[in-house]
Amino acid sequence: MTKCKVLILRTAGTNCDYETLFAFEVCGAKVEKLHINNIMENKRKFFEYDILVFPGGFSYGDDIASGKILANEIKNKLGDELREFSLSGRPIIGICNGFQVLVKMGLLPDPKLFKQITTLYYNDSGKFECRWVYLKVLQNSNCLWTKNLPKIISLPVAHMEGKFIPKDKIVLNTLNTNKQIVFKYTTKDGEHLPNYPLDPNGSVEQIAGICNKDGNILGLMPHPERFIFNIQYPFNINLKNKYGLGKIIFQNAVDFVR
């Protein structure tokens, strides 16, 4: 059987590409890392792959705003091809800086509109936040990346600009109505609204991740590629299960393609 092919798109400042590559390989995929310049030499190259990944890091030093330069570069030079790829139903994920890129080019929350209507802004704390957080997985979402996840999971965050803000109440209501909100920051029991530092950035409605209406595009601030094995989790390690909850997210996409 032909292996699922994954493309990790990188540029200057990308620094989570190796971890993300490893995560997909553990899930049985064939993975390639390519610089954006390689794609611009052959704009149809996107379509040689089944899954597209925008990894974490600090693309172009996060000058102007996190992910903004890369978002503009991709939209202006590869926008037609990327939009076609996304509307074909192929899985796309943007993690941390990748999430920032997806919202600032407008691929999320609506690839058909392809216009920026949400953003990720400076944390309320005014500083870089790096810790494990609890996330509520919204069970009514149709996101293909989150199947089989428990209601509450824990993943690490590491960002300066992770405060999710929709353009207006209309956009927020649309996200809720279309079940596009995938992850929310929460407490360990999932029953209470988190205060800082469990809520690391002050996002509107504690939003930590969203998908498009069709559920094939996921953007999230936490890093699932840093929780592929249970030994990576610093609290209550479950030695009965080799793999961590982050692996489920990547496995879902690979299984979807298969």
Q: Which residues are catalytic?
A: 96, 223, 225
Task: Report helix angle 17-26 to 245-257, nearest 10.
Answer: 70
DSSP conformation letters of 211-232:
E-TTS-EEEESS-GGG-SBGGG
- Alpha-carbon distance 194 to 184, whole Å? 10
Are the beta carbons of 94 and 20 closer than 8 angstroms? no
The residue behind tokens 């609506």 is: 110
41: left (phi over 0), alpha (psi -120 to 50) or beta: alpha
Q: Where are the alpha helices (DSSP H) in the chain?
A: 17-26, 36-41, 68-87, 97-105, 169-177, 245-257
